[in-house]
Amino acid sequence: MRFLTDRKRAAGLGSAKSGTEHHWHMMVSSVALVGLVPLFVFTFGQALGMTYAEASLYYARPFPAIVAILTLLVGFIHFKGGVQVLIEDYVHGFARRALIIGSILLSYTAAAIAVFAIVRIAL
């Protein structure tokens, strides 16, 4: 007869063996966004209305460029995880796999385009 404590039962990570890890990643990315979004709004707000030359000089400084890149990367990673959970809950069969792959590709493509755009403006 096995006697397991609640902690020992929880250490099995559930039937899929990945739910706890996924939840942890979503919590970490949401906490990161709590700090990054106000910084992004503050730095991006100063850049609104600038000409291309002024914006290029502004984003050539490291702080605004790093804040923008981090916010967009973490935001798209958080988006990917949230959409994946949504699809897993409401879509079944082959459509589930296709939509999850599509959402992952969309997230990484959008993140790459965002980083490229900021680097292009900064350089």
Q: Which fold has domain 20-122?
A: 3 helical TM bundles of succinate and fumarate reductases (1.20.1300)
Write the pLDDT tens digit of every residue in 20-58. Answer: 888 899 999 999 999 999 999 999 999 999 999 999 999
Write the pLDDT tens digit of every residue in 60-90. Answer: 999 999 999 999 999 999 999 999 999 999 9
The model's pTM is 0.82
Write the pLDDT tens digit of every residue in 4-13. Answer: 666 666 665 5
Q: Where are the domains of the chain?
A: 20-122
Q: How many Å apart are CA 79 and CA 108, to the nearest integer? A: 10
Cβ distance 48 to 68 under 8 Å?
Answer: no
Q: How many Å apart are CA 57 and CA 114, to the nearest integer? A: 18
